[in-house]
Chains A and B, each alone.
Chain A
Amino acid sequence: MCDVAKVQKIAHCLGVAPGKVQLNEEQVVTRTSAKQEAVAGFATILESLANESKSETAQNSKATREVEAQVYQWIEFSVLYVAPGSKDRNVAKQLLADLNKLFATKSYIVGHFITLADLAVYYAIYDLVKSLSPVDKEAYLNLSRWFDHLQNRDDVHQGEPLLNFTTIYLHGWATGTHI
């Protein structure tokens, strides 16, 4: 998913009009809001979207200074590591392992509630997760649980078909999910 699409998806999640989203001459994503305010950079745009939004996710992301700093660093992580790393086999493997470890003890990336950090990482890792086989998905069980939980939210899937996380191969005998 390209940055422009990610910004648009996240704007919809937050219930904010995305405005005009495009790449500038440095190939950096920019947004021009309805009020004609221009912002450049994925993380900075997400902050501006959060400032315009009254949604729960946006409010969560600004709960305290500490939360705000952590949300920012994970958005940056999604830009620097998740999105480009997904395309490199070795990095992708480490990335999946790291995130899987992170979600062993957490339901959301920051705090105990959904924030922009979850959305940014979710859309950045979407294509990678989509490419995983059922066995791989089972190997990254915690990550799968987080992903499946997010994708089941209406504001997140936005009408796209859900990825399959059924991990029992023998579904001829018994159907069910492990997550």
Chain B
Amino acid sequence: MIIYTNEGNPLGLQLLMLAKFAKRSVQVQLVNLNDAKFKDLLILPTLELDDGLRLFSPAAVAKYLLADEGQLRDEWLEWATTLLAPALAHHMAVGHRADPNALPVLNALVKKLDDCLKASPYLAGDKLTAADIAVWSLLAPDGTLKGAQNLDSLHGWYNRVKALPEVQQVLAEQPLKDLSFNALQQSNRYGGLHHVPLKRLSLADSGKLLAETASTVADTVTDEELAAAGAAFTYTAHKDVPQQRTVLPKAGERNVLITSALPYVNNVPHLGNIIGCVLSADIFARYSRCAGYNTLLICGTDEYGTATENKALAENLTPREICDKYFELHNSIYRWFGIGFDYFGRTTTQEQTDIVQEAFKDVHKAGYIITESVEQLLCQKCDRFLADRFVEGTCPHPGCGYGDARGDQCDKCGKLVTATELIRPRCKVCNTAPILRSSDQLFIDLPKAEPRLREWVDKSENGWTHNAKVITRAWLREGLKPRCITRDLKWGIPVPHSGFEKKVFYVWFDAPFGYVSMTKRYTKEYQQWWQPAKGTEVELFQFMAKDNVPFHSVVWPSVLLAINKGHTLVSHIMATEYLNYEDGKFSKSRGIGVFGNDAQETGIPADVWRFYLASARPEGQDSSFSWNDLGARNNSELLNNLGNFVNRALVFCEKNFNSTVPEVVATEEEFILLALVNRELRGYINSLEKAKLRDGIRHLLAISRHGNGYMQTQQPWVLLKGSDEQKQRAATIIALCANIACLLANLLFPYMPATARTLFAQLNAKQTPLNAEKPLATVLLPAGHKIGKPAPLFAKLEQSFIDELKEKYGGTQASKAAADVQSQSSAADLEQAVQAQAEKVRELKASTKDKAVWQPEVSKLLDLKKQLEEAKKSAVSAPASVAAPSNGAQSVQALEKAVQAQGEKVRNLKGSTKDKSVWQPEVNVLLDLKKQLEAAQKAAKAAPAAAAPPVASVDAGKVKALEDKLNQQAEKVRTLKAAGDVAVWKPELDILLGLKNELAALTGAPPAGGQAKSKGKKKK
């Protein structure tokens, strides 16, 4: 039999005991329910019998494994699962789930047990039954009965059960200290048992039997932990290790090479990029240096490619100048965020050219290069071959069909796309359809490298994040294809191969080598990092967002394996999921979200940004950036928890002990606190060793929370006014808190370096290395140490300020830019844009229910509408010359706009409420407007020439056809409405409105609207 359970789950103990009493052998397998492999498991622990039957209820297991022992036993079994277990789960809950009612309920429950055991030796009579096992196994973890009073019968029974040889054997395999009811939170997908309400007992108050909740956590501290905490809490002076100028790997030591995915030079990085790559890498690198590993952090900008060429054209600069300009921008943003690269380089260096060209020659010599004639998309209008990113079209992958897929990758399904496979391709610049031309290109033969790659992946992927494994496996499952590594461009590294002199390398063969070339810029000895000598182990950690995984796990390793010169291959791919902005997506191309320079402008310190981003890091699943969350975390975690603890400790020390740290005369209280701190410290180290930065913060904050709790219960401010003995106690408390503050400064350093430095200055202390082998708190500030001047570390972020920021950065960058040039864009252009966008949204909504897909488009639409409104306002104040020539058309147009606005209003209302009385009046207004519009249109038609002189070029037949369609649709809507149901006619009404908009575009807009026109027609 197999028991599937999660770490620390107390119910696993019950299954082990039952199996032992039933004399069945059983294996335990620890699982994580988030793991796709275990998606079929509902509740942990689950027992899998040898015939495959799975039982997740311990009571059911008891009844199945053991013989029938009577109804009384069954009642107790049910009592244990449905009353005792939830009460214990509530009792152990902390934070927002803490439940003050749990203790009285639990007291009543143990009272009942005690009463029962007064009458009989075991719960169900004279003999031990499964009921005793069930109840005992629930009371044993977390030391529930520790410190309980007046429960002699229960205690007697507890000890009798514990002494049974079967129980002793189980406890030898499964120590009690590893179990806690808190682990139930991960035992199912319902968040444990917190949703089970505690039954309000009508029993009289059972009195105080169990010890209070607050001390329950402390009660779980074992004697070994106390002893270890006490032994470690001593002072050893740390020698200053001289910093080497150039870090190089050393044989026999831990050498950590860290890279962050190279940001593309043209884009201003947004918060998602920053936490996904550079900031994560920086935090990890800082930790790694603190832990004493030889650490090198390398990053830089990726500069070659069409996008740069284009940008250069647009800004009338050379590509080199563009790169220089944007490189500085990147550099300054990262510097502001306090990213401490050992070297931040660029790909446009001679070193890069040398390394890439040499690598190419090696790969070619090894026989991994094939030449093939490729069909490429040529835009005749722009007169050039289109790079992948400059083609858009419909995603060719079955089941996706996303309309705006790029030529290299589809934003929606995330799959790679070959530009020529796009359905209905179009040039991103001029929107015309490109044609196919063939030219010779070089390919890297990935299928040939595949066997070696598989072998390497099998043994390396253990250190990768889950998503990196999944993505890589998906690639390998589909089988590798040769990938083109050259392009017909000028801005790139020339291909050193005869016949290809005019071509350059594509990003796949260029950018990854940037890591190597930048290291070469850092030191001439770069090969020690990238091709280390035998005996020197270099661990390569690469940080990136998940869309970058294939380049780092498949393409580049294949190239390096093909070269076969002992290159350092990635051992840890640290891929994050995506960070969303409020509710939508961050997107460089669409300009949604907070960008690096915005963060700077907010006036919120870089360290707070670092802290927030790290604590919202999308580890394991997507997460969202939210202004409110940023404010809340700053105020509750940094200010009230961490800042408060540190400041109180230091101010007490300053005011009452003349800024001199007193001596710690530790009692049990102090050792318990140290033991709890050590638990979190171990968690912190374990998390950071695996680059789980978000978990690391959690442990760090837990330490200051323990500290706050300790200070709150000990109340040194009271003791200070008491007897000498009490003053002595106060001195110990303050000294211990100051030491913990110093520990916190060390732990905080990777996340908030500037704050940590301030804190070190206030402590008048230096950073001490972290001991990852033995994570135990030591004395950092010995008695007699003089501290500096304490001051608050953090400032409160007021809600009004947060609201202001939310408002300010609510729109997209594009719309911010648009606002600047608004005067240039006429209302008519905007209207077309609104219509086109509305059409797109409708189609998207119809095709998918996935809000993530259409939400950004809807936001865009709303934005455009806002702009339109403003443009209209300004147009009203503009000279009337525009309006004069076409009076009739104008009024039609105005009415149409009114209809549209009203229609939107009705749609919104209907979406937000089901209360007909709310939206009915608005619907009436809408219908009224429509009638007016119809009349106005008729009138306008009667005078077509006068109405719309600029529209003369519009195909009259098209207008006619559209009008007919519109009439038909209107008729349909009318009949449907007569029949009743809103749900029925609403979609049709939408179609009708769409048609009206099209008509408006045809008749009301200047001839420049050709695009929208043809688009509208194509869609039919």
Contact = CB atoms under 8 A, between A and B. Distances in A.
B201 A44 contact: no
B309 to A, nearest CB: 48
Interface in B185-216: 188-191, 193, 195-197, 199-203
A131 B983 CA distance: 19
Interface string B159-193: 00000000000000000000000000000111101
Interface stretch (A8-16, A52-60, A90-98, A150-158): A90-98
Nearest to A134: B983
A76 interface: yes
Interface in B34-72: 42-43, 53, 55-57, 59-61, 63-64, 71
B384 interface: no
A47 B74 contact: yes
Interface string A73-100: 1001101110011011011001100100
Contacts of A66: 53, 64
A28 interface: yes
Contact of B199 (A26, A77, A169): A26
A26 B190 CA distance: 25
Interface string B618-635: 000000000000000000
B78 interface: yes
Contacts of B199: 26-28
Given A44-B78, A72-B60, A172 B981 contact: yes
B86 to A, nearest CB: 7
A85 B197 CA distance: 9
Given A69-B60, A76-B81, A44 B71 contact: yes
A40 interface: yes
B761 interface: no
B980 interface: yes
B447 to A, nearest CB: 38
A26 B63 contact: no
A39 B195 CA distance: 26
Contacts of A88: 195
Interface in A109-158: none
A80 B112 CA distance: 21
Contacts of B983: 169-170
B882 to A, nearest CB: 45
A77 B189 contact: no
Contacts of A44: 71, 74-75, 78
B500 interface: no
Contact of B79 (A25, A28, A170, A171): A28
Given A39-B71, A85-B190, A172 B976 contact: yes
A165 interface: no
A35 interface: no
Given A44-B74, A79-B82, A172-B979, A73 B193 contact: no
B83 interface: yes
Given A27-B202, A44-B78, A65 B64 contact: yes
Most buried by A among B55, B56, B59, B980: B59
A176 to B, nearest CB: 15
Contacts of B191: 90-91
A27 B200 CA distance: 7
Contacts of B939: none
Contacts of A39: 71, 75
A43 interface: yes
A70 B55 contact: yes
Most buried by B among A28, A44, A98: A44
Contacts, number: 110
Given A25-B201, A84-B196, A169-B984, A94 B190 contact: yes
Contacts of B984: 169-173
B546 to A, nearest CB: 24
Contact of B78 (A42, A90, A98): A42
Contacts of B980: 172
A80 B976 contact: no
A40 B199 CA distance: 15
B59 A72 contact: yes
A56 B461 CA distance: 54
Most buried by B among A42, A68, A80, A171: A80
A19 interface: no
A80 B82 contact: yes
Nearest to B59: A76
Contacts of B200: 27
A77 B57 CA distance: 8
Interface string A26-39: 11100000000001
Contacts of B976: 172
Contacts of A79: 82
A70 B60 contact: yes
Given A76-B60, A91-B195, A94-B190, A41 B79 contact: yes
Given A26-B199, A80-B86, A84-B197, A73 B190 contact: no
Contacts of A41: 74-75, 78-79, 82
Given A172-B980, A173-B984, 18 more contacts: A27-B201, A28-B83, A41-B79, A42-B78, A44-B71, A69-B53, A69-B61, A77-B56, A80-B86, A84-B195, A84-B196, A85-B190, A85-B195, A87-B195, A88-B195, A91-B191, A94-B190, A169-B983
Interface of B: 42-43, 53, 55-57, 59-61, 63-64, 71, 74-75, 78-79, 81-83, 86, 108, 112, 188-191, 193, 195-197, 199-203, 976, 979-981, 983-984
10 contacts: A26-B203, A39-B71, A47-B74, A48-B71, A77-B57, A80-B193, A81-B43, A91-B191, A172-B979, A173-B984
